[in-house]
Structure 1
Amino acid sequence: MRPIASDPTNTEIIEHLSRYAPGTAVRMAINPEFPYAHTLGGIVLGVGHDGSPVIYIGEAGQAGFLPALTAQELGWHPRTVVPARTRRGVGATDQ
Protein backbone atom coordinates (compact mmCIF):
# COMPACT_ATOMS: atom_id res chain seq x y z
CA MET A 1 0.00 0.00 0.00
CA ARG A 2 1.29 3.42 -0.93
CA PRO A 3 0.20 5.89 1.79
CA ILE A 4 -1.88 8.89 0.82
CA ALA A 5 -1.53 12.34 2.40
CA SER A 6 -3.73 12.97 5.43
CA ASP A 7 -5.45 15.81 3.56
CA PRO A 8 -5.06 14.78 -0.11
CA THR A 9 -5.98 16.96 -3.05
CA ASN A 10 -8.44 15.93 -5.76
CA THR A 11 -5.46 15.36 -8.10
CA GLU A 12 -3.74 13.05 -5.58
CA ILE A 13 -6.87 10.93 -5.14
CA ILE A 14 -7.35 10.66 -8.91
CA GLU A 15 -3.68 9.65 -9.23
CA HIS A 16 -4.08 6.92 -6.59
CA LEU A 17 -7.33 5.59 -8.08
CA SER A 18 -5.96 5.59 -11.64
CA ARG A 19 -3.69 2.63 -10.74
CA TYR A 20 -6.75 0.35 -10.61
CA ALA A 21 -9.08 -0.93 -13.33
CA PRO A 22 -11.79 1.64 -14.20
CA GLY A 23 -14.62 -0.80 -13.40
CA THR A 24 -13.39 -1.53 -9.85
CA ALA A 25 -15.85 -0.67 -7.05
CA VAL A 26 -14.80 1.99 -4.54
CA ARG A 27 -15.64 1.75 -0.84
CA MET A 28 -14.48 3.52 2.29
CA ALA A 29 -12.82 1.59 5.10
CA ILE A 30 -13.93 3.00 8.45
CA ASN A 31 -12.78 2.51 12.08
CA PRO A 32 -9.48 0.63 12.44
CA GLU A 33 -10.51 -0.87 15.81
CA PHE A 34 -13.71 -2.42 14.46
CA PRO A 35 -13.35 -2.12 10.67
CA TYR A 36 -16.32 -1.87 8.36
CA ALA A 37 -16.66 -1.20 4.66
CA HIS A 38 -18.99 1.62 3.60
CA THR A 39 -20.43 2.58 0.24
CA LEU A 40 -19.92 6.09 -1.09
CA GLY A 41 -22.72 8.62 -1.08
CA GLY A 42 -22.75 12.06 -2.63
CA ILE A 43 -19.69 14.09 -3.50
CA VAL A 44 -20.03 17.82 -2.91
CA LEU A 45 -17.88 20.93 -2.77
CA GLY A 46 -18.07 22.58 0.62
CA VAL A 47 -16.00 24.83 2.84
CA GLY A 48 -13.46 23.71 5.45
CA HIS A 49 -13.06 25.13 8.95
CA ASP A 50 -10.52 27.62 7.64
CA GLY A 51 -12.83 28.82 4.86
CA SER A 52 -10.96 27.03 2.06
CA PRO A 53 -12.82 24.84 -0.47
CA VAL A 54 -13.05 21.14 0.45
CA ILE A 55 -14.52 18.22 -1.50
CA TYR A 56 -16.61 16.04 0.80
CA ILE A 57 -17.37 12.39 0.04
CA GLY A 58 -20.48 11.24 1.85
CA GLU A 59 -21.12 7.76 3.21
CA ALA A 60 -24.22 6.03 1.85
CA GLY A 61 -24.35 2.97 4.05
CA GLN A 62 -22.53 0.10 5.61
CA ALA A 63 -21.47 -2.77 3.35
CA GLY A 64 -20.45 -5.26 6.02
CA PHE A 65 -17.23 -6.03 7.83
CA LEU A 66 -13.97 -5.04 6.22
CA PRO A 67 -12.11 -8.19 5.11
CA ALA A 68 -9.22 -9.04 7.49
CA LEU A 69 -6.64 -8.99 4.69
CA THR A 70 -7.77 -5.48 3.72
CA ALA A 71 -7.40 -4.26 7.32
CA GLN A 72 -3.90 -5.77 7.33
CA GLU A 73 -3.02 -4.07 4.02
CA LEU A 74 -4.15 -0.74 5.50
CA GLY A 75 -1.84 -1.35 8.47
CA TRP A 76 -4.76 -1.42 10.91
CA HIS A 77 -4.22 -5.01 12.07
CA PRO A 78 -0.99 -6.96 12.32
CA ARG A 79 -0.27 -9.61 9.74
CA THR A 80 -0.79 -12.99 11.28
CA VAL A 81 0.53 -16.39 10.41
CA VAL A 82 -1.80 -19.35 10.61
CA PRO A 83 -0.32 -21.74 13.17
CA ALA A 84 0.78 -25.13 11.94
CA ARG A 85 -1.65 -27.90 12.75
CA THR A 86 -0.62 -31.33 13.83
CA ARG A 87 -2.68 -34.38 13.14
CA ARG A 88 -3.87 -36.23 16.19
CA GLY A 89 -4.35 -39.94 16.12
CA VAL A 90 -7.98 -41.06 16.08
CA GLY A 91 -8.90 -43.29 19.00
CA ALA A 92 -5.55 -42.85 20.71
CA THR A 93 -5.55 -43.51 24.44
CA ASP A 94 -3.37 -41.99 27.11
CA GLN A 95 -0.92 -44.46 28.63
Structure 2
Amino acid sequence: MEPSEMTVGDLIDRLSTCDRTAPLRLAMNPFFPMAHRAALVVEARDEAGRPVVYLAEGRDADSQLGHLPPEVAVALTWQAPVQPPPRRPRRTAGGK
Protein backbone atom coordinates (compact mmCIF):
# COMPACT_ATOMS: atom_id res chain seq x y z
CA MET A 1 0.00 0.00 0.00
CA GLU A 2 1.36 3.41 -0.98
CA PRO A 3 1.72 6.01 1.77
CA SER A 4 -0.98 8.66 1.46
CA GLU A 5 0.17 12.09 0.42
CA MET A 6 -1.12 15.34 1.84
CA THR A 7 -3.44 16.99 -0.67
CA VAL A 8 -3.83 20.69 -1.39
CA GLY A 9 -7.17 20.49 0.45
CA ASP A 10 -5.46 18.93 3.50
CA LEU A 11 -2.88 21.73 3.48
CA ILE A 12 -5.57 24.42 3.18
CA ASP A 13 -7.50 22.84 6.07
CA ARG A 14 -4.39 22.79 8.27
CA LEU A 15 -3.34 26.30 7.31
CA SER A 16 -6.85 27.68 7.91
CA THR A 17 -6.29 27.38 11.68
CA CYS A 18 -3.02 29.34 11.53
CA ASP A 19 -2.35 33.05 11.87
CA ARG A 20 -2.77 34.43 8.33
CA THR A 21 -0.03 37.02 8.91
CA ALA A 22 2.59 34.43 9.97
CA PRO A 23 5.41 33.82 7.47
CA LEU A 24 5.41 30.41 5.79
CA ARG A 25 8.57 28.35 6.25
CA LEU A 26 9.70 24.99 4.92
CA ALA A 27 11.40 22.49 7.21
CA MET A 28 14.01 20.49 5.28
CA ASN A 29 16.31 17.54 5.85
CA PRO A 30 15.59 15.67 9.09
CA PHE A 31 19.29 14.74 9.46
CA PHE A 32 20.46 18.37 9.32
CA PRO A 33 17.24 20.33 9.97
CA MET A 34 17.16 23.72 8.31
CA ALA A 35 14.46 26.36 7.84
CA HIS A 36 13.76 27.80 4.39
CA ARG A 37 11.60 30.68 3.18
CA ALA A 38 8.68 29.43 1.05
CA ALA A 39 8.25 31.51 -2.08
CA LEU A 40 6.73 29.61 -4.97
CA VAL A 41 3.69 27.47 -5.67
CA VAL A 42 3.88 25.54 -8.93
CA GLU A 43 1.17 23.37 -10.47
CA ALA A 44 2.38 20.55 -12.72
CA ARG A 45 1.63 16.98 -13.78
CA ASP A 46 3.38 13.87 -12.49
CA GLU A 47 4.71 11.08 -14.69
CA ALA A 48 1.22 9.52 -14.81
CA GLY A 49 -0.37 12.80 -15.89
CA ARG A 50 -2.03 13.49 -12.53
CA PRO A 51 -2.05 17.06 -11.19
CA VAL A 52 0.50 17.82 -8.47
CA VAL A 53 1.36 21.08 -6.67
CA TYR A 54 4.88 21.95 -5.50
CA LEU A 55 5.70 24.42 -2.73
CA ALA A 56 9.27 25.62 -3.17
CA GLU A 57 11.80 27.88 -1.54
CA GLY A 58 12.82 31.11 -3.22
CA ARG A 59 15.87 31.60 -5.40
CA ASP A 60 17.35 34.37 -3.26
CA ALA A 61 20.59 33.71 -1.40
CA ASP A 62 18.77 34.34 1.88
CA SER A 63 16.04 31.72 1.27
CA GLN A 64 17.78 29.34 3.68
CA LEU A 65 17.20 30.92 7.06
CA GLY A 66 19.38 28.73 9.24
CA HIS A 67 18.89 25.87 11.64
CA LEU A 68 15.38 24.73 12.41
CA PRO A 69 14.40 25.63 15.98
CA PRO A 70 14.91 22.54 18.20
CA GLU A 71 11.28 22.53 19.35
CA VAL A 72 10.15 22.29 15.70
CA ALA A 73 12.54 19.39 14.98
CA VAL A 74 11.18 17.63 18.10
CA ALA A 75 7.55 18.28 17.04
CA LEU A 76 8.34 16.80 13.60
CA THR A 77 9.94 13.80 15.40
CA TRP A 78 13.18 14.48 13.53
CA GLN A 79 15.01 14.80 16.86
CA ALA A 80 14.40 13.44 20.32
CA PRO A 81 13.75 15.91 23.13
CA VAL A 82 17.01 16.81 24.79
CA GLN A 83 17.19 17.17 28.54
CA PRO A 84 19.89 19.28 30.16
CA PRO A 85 22.57 17.26 31.94
CA PRO A 86 22.09 16.85 35.69
CA ARG A 87 23.74 19.54 37.78
CA ARG A 88 26.69 18.48 39.87
CA PRO A 89 27.84 20.27 42.98
CA ARG A 90 30.48 22.89 42.25
CA ARG A 91 33.98 22.35 43.44
CA THR A 92 35.44 24.85 45.83
CA ALA A 93 38.80 26.53 45.39
CA GLY A 94 40.29 24.11 47.92
CA GLY A 95 39.32 21.14 45.72
CA LYS A 96 36.76 19.75 48.17
* TM-score with structure 1 setting the length: 0.84
- Residue identity opposite 1:77 in structure 2: Q
Listed as ranges, the gaps of 5+ residues in structure 1 are: none
Aligned residue pairs total 90
- Deviation at residue 6 of structure 1 after TM alignment: 4.9
Give the residue type in structure 1 aligned to 2:67.
F
SS at match of 1:19: coil
Structure 2 runs not aligned, ≥5 long: none
- Which structure 1 residue ranges, 4+ long, deviate > 2 Å from structure 2? none
Question: What residue in structure 2 maps to residue 92 of structure 1?
Answer: 94
Give RMSD over aligned pairs: 1.6
Deviation of 1:22 after TM superposition, in Å, equals 1.2
Give a deviation string over 1:2-59, Cα, whole Å, max 9, x none: xxx8521111001111121111111000000001001112112111121101111121
Normalization by structure 2: what TM-score? 0.83
Look up the match of 1:8: 6
The one-letter code of the counterpart of 1:75 is T
SS in 2 for 1:80: coil
Residues 48-87 of structure 1: CA deviation (Å, up to 9, x unaligned): 1211011111211211111111101100001121122123
Q: Percent identity?
A: 32
Task: Map 1:1-95 to 2 at 5 A.
Answer: 6-60=4-58, 61-93=63-95
